[in-house]
Structure 1
Amino acid sequence: MSDFMEIIVRTIFAFFLFMVIANFLGKQTLSRMTLHHFTATVTFGSITANLAFNLRNEAWQVATAMITFFCIAFSLSIITLKSRKARKWLSGKPTIIIEDGKILEENLRLLRYTLDTLNHALRQKDVFDIQEVQYAVVEPNGEISLLKYPPYRYVTKEDLNIFIKEGNHFPIELIMEKQILDKNLDNNGLTKDWLLSELTKRGLTVTSVFYAVKGTNGQLYFDVYNDRLTSPIDNETGHR
């Protein structure tokens, strides 16, 4: 096999092996990463690259290293689930940087946070006046969480004594690209006859519907293929 073809085959193998490992490690490893998630992801990336391009090493050798590291990372994930002490050591712990409106300079120093970094993080949370902040915490994944003083917090329906209607549910997808989602109907006590009846009321057929969903408030939404827009907005110009 030529080097060119070997790189292609190894790259395909590396991709699917990484996908399998990432699936076992879980979504958290790929989203908001803590310290050990970050370490695992970077190391997996390096090993995957070696598996794809480093022809001096046999594929099975690099794959063995990758699987071994997966076992380590997976074991650490199990340990962090079961042990709070291990979780603090492996994933880090939240650090308070503003307490009762006062900046904790020592904690900033430990995190290697500058005032510029702090102000940048606050602006990303739509806070431009630091005096609005009662508490600020840097989470293990590096994100900052805020608690504003009461006058600066968002008003909720509970604050206004507005009655919150019960009975909202998760949206139920009914049709997707002309296909009725029978499993969703069955799981939610709905029937195909009911759905066909609703389509008939609106003068629609299953094959004319691109997407149909029963929303959180129980209302039905249908999007059809023929939207009857005579002058759609141009994606590039933003004009009709």
Structure 2
Amino acid sequence: MTIRLPLLGPDPEAPFPPAWRALRDPNGLLAMGGDLSPARLLNAYRHGIFPWFSEGEPILWWCPDPRMVFDTAGVRLSSRFRRELRRSRWELRADTAFDAVIAACAHSPRPGQDGTWITPAMAAAYRELHRLGHAHSVEVFDGGRLVGGIYGVAVGRMFFGESMFSAESGGSKVALAGLARLLHGWGWPLLDAQVRNPHLEFLGARLLPRDDFLQAVRRLASEPAAAGSWAGRVAPFPAALLAGVTAD
């Protein structure tokens, strides 16, 4: 079967096709082509669209229905895991090891996936967004060793999660919970998790109809929020703090 998709032109500020034109199978595939310039990526995220493709494929743009999201006050950690956190020496930091986080995400094996969608071009694009103050990471350290992390893109008061990894059991959960804690403290209500994932559902993610999600994105992404590194905004904090603020 031949799939015909709108082909994006050279102008990174040009509108994307409307989300209702996205395919049902594969769910959310909307357009192809264009580039991964900062202007194009920010244009996409402002409209709830994200790039996702593998090495050797054209750039593909997605807006699935429904959308998986976290309420930033709603990340769940089990009682057992929270007890472990109370004894943990792990520390969370923000924007101190972005390159290491994206590299670790790119090399982390994923069930059911061969290779990685974080291609060299994709990684370079998000490193540039990070340099410009739009892409951010939350890192989990055990002493000087990076044991978990998550990265994504902030637009206005909306955060779009991209990927996370664990080098030790629970590292990605702690990074996710730490990110949600920061966002909730700043009054950012939603964390985009893109597509349905049973593991994320176990941690408290929920499915939101695409129209409702896009309505929230339009509101939150248009609200003022300064770009820039979070390293000076977020003081390192112990993972043990998460044991008392996340619910079963």
The bucket for the TM-score relative to the shorter chain is under 0.3
TM-score (ref. length: structure 2) = 0.21
TM-score (ref. length: structure 1) = 0.21
Larger CA Rg, structure 1 vs 2: 1
Kindly indicate which of the two structures has a greater share of residues assigned to helix.
Answer: 1
